[in-house]
Amino acid sequence: MNATIPQRSAKQNPVELYDLQLQALAGIARTLSREQQIDELLEQVLAILHNDLGLLHGLVTISDPEHGALQIGAIHTDSEAVAQACEGVRYRSGEGVIGNVLKHGNSVVLGRISADPRFLDRLALYDLEMPFIAVPIKNPEGNTIGVLAAQPDCRADEHMPARTRLLEIVANLLAQTVRLVVNIEDGRDAADERDELRREVRGKYGFENMVVGHTPTMRRVFDQIRRVAKWNSTVLVLGESGTGKELIASAIHYNSPRAHRSFVRLNCAALPETLLESELFGHEKGAFTGAVKQRKGRFEQADGGTLFLDEIGEISPMFQAKLLRVLQEGEFERVGGNQTVRVNVRIVAATNRDLESEVEKGKFREDLYYRLNVMAIRIPPLRERTADIPELAEFLLSKIGRQQGRPLTITDSAIRLLMSHRWPGNVRELENCLERSAIMSEDGTITRDVVSLTGVDNESPPLAAPLPEVNLADETLDDRERVIAALEQAGWVQAKAARLLGMTPRQIAYRIQTLNIHMRKI
Ligand SMILES: Nc1ncnc2c1ncn2[C@@H]1O[C@H](COP(=O)(O)OP(=O)(O)OP(=O)(O)O)[C@@H](O)[C@H]1O
Ligand SMILES: [Mg+2]
C-alpha cells in the first residue's frame, strides 16, 4: 500500500483540476480493463484516487445481502493495522454515513466530518476536521450494491461538487466489477455462491492465470478451450485422475458468454442413483419421505449457465437413459411431478474412464456417448508434459504460500527431482507433495531432501523423458547443487559423476558425505 500524500496547492485552478480528473479517469478505466483479481483492481483504483487526486483513505464497500449489510471490499490506507482491522467491519443499512448511502442510494457530502452526528468513525481512519464524500455504486436496475467513499485532502471549497461528480463517475465504472461479487441467486447456499463468484471473477479475466502450462499439448488444450467456450456445445473432458478436468471445465464456463450465470457441478459417482436423480432434476413437495418442500435440482440451478457432470462414466444404464432425454430435448420432470420443466443449460462432462471402450463393452450407451462427445478435450497426464513442472511448481507453491502466509521457494535440484517422478496422481499429487514439502520446510525453502522425504525419491523406474541439462561449469551453482546435478546426469553412478566433475571417486564420495547428499536408489 503506497500512501505518499501528494502536495496540493491550497487553491486549485478549475482547468487544472479538470485535467487531473480526466487523466485519473483514463487511468482507472485502464486499470479496470486489466486481467486481475477483483480486490487488487479495487485497490489500484483507490490508489489512483489517492495519489493523483488527493482523495484519501478510499474505501469500497460491497453489499452482502446475506447479512443485510455492507462489507469492506477494498481500502486504501498506509496502515497495515487499519487494513486488517477493517476485515470484519460491516455497516448495516441506515447505520452511519455509509449505511445511509446504502439505504437511500444518494451521495452524502460532509464539509467537516466531526460536524455530522451520523459519522461513526468505526475505522478510526479519517481526519475529523476534513470533508468526506460517499457515493452509491448501483447496478443497472438502480439498486445500490455498494458504496465508494474517500476523504479530500483539503478543506471544503468550491470544488467539492466536482470531486463528488468524479467519485460518482468512478462508482459507475466500478459497478460492473462490483456487480460480479454480489449477484446472489435464490435457493443457493450463500457461502458457496460467494466462493463461486470469486472464482467467477477470477475466471472472467482469462484462464491463463489459473491454468498453468506451456507445452505444446497444453497449448492445444488452451486453444480448444478458447474455441469451444463461446458456443453452447457439450464438451467432454477426458484425462486421468488429477490432471485438471474440473479446472478446465470451469475455465470453459468462465470464458463463455454464460460466465455471469451459475457454474453448477455434480459428481455423479458420489450419490446413489435415487438421490442422484432428485439432486439433478429436483423434486416436488411430498415426492418421497423427507421431501417437505419443492426443491430445484442442479439442472434448474444451472439454467442459463453451465452444468458440470463429473465422473459421468460411473452412471447406471437407467440413469444414462434419463440423462439422454434431457440432453436431447432440454426438458425433464422433477421427481414426483408431472410438470415438464425446460432449461437452457450447457453441459460439460468429465471422466477418467475410456468411454469408448465402455461403449464397446456395452456398459455405456452409444447414443449418450455421441451426445456428450460433441467436442472432446483430452488432458495429457503430467508425465507427458514434464516441461510444465517447473512452472506448475512455482504456481502451486505461491498458492500454498498464500495459505501458509509466508513466501516459499524451491531449489533447482528439487525441481529436477520433481521432473523425474512419474506422478500417477498427476497435478493433484504434485500439489499434495508440495504442500507436504512446505509443511516440512522450516525456512520456506523446498530442497531436494525435503521433497524426497515425501516419498518422491523412492521412485522406480525413472522417467524416460530427459531432464534439462545442467551446465556443471555454471559459476552460480553452489557446490551441493553441482554435485547433485552431476549425479543426476550420471544416473546416480558415483564414478561417472566424478568423471563429469573432474574428481576422483574418492573425492566425490567425500563430497557426498560432507554435503549430506542422500543417494538415490538405482
Ligand atoms: N494446469 C494446471 N494449472 C494449475 N493448477 C492445476 C492444473 N491442473 C490441475 N491443477 C490443480 O490440481 C488439482 C487437481 O485438479 P482437478 O481437481 O481439476 O483435477 P481432476 O482431473 O478433476 O481430478 P480428479 O479426477 O481427481 O477429480 C486442483 O487443485 C487444480 O487446481
Ligand atoms: Mg475432478
pLDDT value at residue 501: 86
> Residues enclosing ligand 1, CB less than 6 A?
211-213, 239, 241-247, 352, 392, 395, 427-428, 431
For the purposes of burial, counting CB atoms within 10 Å of the CB of 88, is it exposed (0-12), middle (13-18) or buried (19 or more)? Answer: exposed
Mean pLDDT of 366-390: 93
Is residue 439 predicted with pLDDT exceeding 50?
yes
Mean pLDDT of 154-182: 82
Query: How many angstroms does the Cα of residue 302 sit away from the middle of ligand 2?
Result: 18
Is residue 187 predicted with pLDDT exceeding 50?
no
pLDDT value at residue 253: 92
Mean pLDDT of 396-404: 91
Mean pLDDT of 129-138: 92
Query: How many angstroms does the Cα of residue 456 sit away from the middle of ligand 1?
Result: 19
Query: How many angstroms does the Cα of residue 428 sit away from the middle of ligand 2?
Result: 10
Whole-angstrom distance, CA of residue 435 vs CA of residue 37: 23
Mean pLDDT of 433-453: 90
Q: Of all atoms in ligand 1, which is nearest to the CA of residue 395?
A: 4
Query: How many angstroms does the Cα of residue 236 sit away from the middle of ligand 2?
Result: 13
Query: How many angstroms does the Cα of residue 430 sit away from the middle of ligand 1?
Result: 10
* pLDDT band with cut points at 50, 70 and 90 for residue 167: very high
Q: Identify the residue whose C-alpha is closest to ligand 1 atom 19.
A: 244
The more confidently predicted of residues 348 and 139 is 348
pLDDT value at residue 184: 31
* Ligand at shortest distance from the CA of 310: 2
How confident is the model over 286-319, as pLDDT tens digits? 777 766 777 888 999 999 999 999 999 999 888 8
pLDDT value at residue 477: 73
Query: How many angstroms does the Cα of residue 248 sit away from the middle of ligand 1?
Result: 8
- 225, 237, 246: residue to mutate for ligand 1 pocket, most atoms within 8 A of CB: 246
How confident is the model over 230-286, as pLDDT tens digits? 888 999 999 999 999 999 999 999 888 898 889 999 998 877 877 888 889 988 887
Query: How many angstroms does the Cα of residue 245 sit away from the middle of ligand 1?
Result: 6
Cα separations (Å) of 31 from 25, 34, 44, 136, 138? 10, 5, 7, 20, 20
Asked if residue 372 lies in contact with residue 359, where contact means CB atoms within 8 angstroms, the answer is: no
The more confidently predicted of residues 151 and 12 is 151
Mean pLDDT of 470-495: 81
Asked if residue 368 lies in contact with residue 327, where contact means CB atoms within 8 angstroms, the answer is: yes
The more confidently predicted of residues 186 and 348 is 348
pTM of whole model > 0.85? Answer: no
Q: Identify the residue whose C-alpha is closest to ligand 1 atom 25.
A: 241
Whole-angstrom distance, CA of residue 424 vs CA of residue 237: 18
Residue 120 CB contacts under 8 Å (≥ 6 apart), including other chains: 95, 96, 97
Q: Of all atoms in ligand 1, which is nearest to the CA of residue 249?
A: 18
Listed range (99-103, 140-144, 320-324) with the worst mean pLDDT: 140-144
Q: Identify the residue whose C-alpha is closest to ligand 1 atom 29.
A: 428
* Ligand at shortest distance from the CA of 251: 1
Query: Which cell numbers in the block locate residue 509?
Result: 564420495
Q: Of all atoms in ligand 1, which is nearest to the CA of residue 213?
A: 1
Is residue 156 predicted with pLDDT exceeding 50?
yes
Is residue 168 predicted with pLDDT exceeding 90?
yes
Mean pLDDT of 148-176: 89
The more confidently predicted of residues 82 and 19 is 19
pLDDT value at residue 83: 61
* pLDDT band with cut points at 50, 70 and 90 for residue 207: low
Whole-angstrom distance, CA of residue 145 vs CA of residue 153: 27
Q: Identify the residue whose C-alpha is closest to ligand 1 atom 9.
A: 244
* pLDDT band with cut points at 50, 70 and 90 for residue 79: low
* Ligand at shortest distance from the CA of 240: 1
pLDDT value at residue 457: 65
The mean pLDDT of the chain is: 82
pLDDT value at residue 1: 40
Is residue 7 predicted with pLDDT exceeding 50?
no
* Ligand at shortest distance from the CA of 219: 1
Q: Of all atoms in ligand 1, which is nearest to the CA of residue 237?
A: 21
Query: How many angstroms does the Cα of residue 211 sit away from the middle of ligand 1?
Result: 9
Contacts made by residues 95-100, CB under 8 angstroms, sequence distance 24+: 95/120, 96/120, 96/122, 97/132, 97/134, 97/149, 98/59, 98/61, 98/70, 98/134, 98/147, 98/149, 99/70
Query: How many angstroms does the Cα of residue 51 sit away from the middle of ligand 1?
Result: 40
Instruction: Give the 3-state secondary structure of residue 136.
Output: strand
Q: Is the peptide bond before 461 cis (omega within 30 degrees of 0)?
A: yes
Is residue 38 predicted with pLDDT exceeding 80?
no
Asked if residue 504 lies in contact with residue 498, where contact means CB atoms within 8 angstroms, the answer is: yes
pLDDT value at residue 254: 86
* Ligand at shortest distance from the CA of 222: 1
Within 13 Å, how many C-alpha atoms sit on residue 447's CB side? Answer: 12
- 247, 263, 395, 399: residue to mutate for ligand 1 pocket, most atoms within 8 A of CB: 247
* pLDDT band with cut points at 50, 70 and 90 for residue 102: confident
Query: How many angstroms does the Cα of residue 94 sit away from the middle of ligand 2?
Result: 44
Looking at mean pLDDT, say which of 75-89, 176-190, 290-304 comes out highest: 290-304
Q: Identify the residue whose C-alpha is closest to ligand 1 atom 10.
A: 244
- 237, 392, 428: residue to mutate for ligand 1 pocket, most atoms within 8 A of CB: 428
Is residue 75 predicted with pLDDT exceeding 50?
yes
Query: Which cell numbers in the block locate residue 19?
Result: 485535467
pLDDT value at residue 203: 40
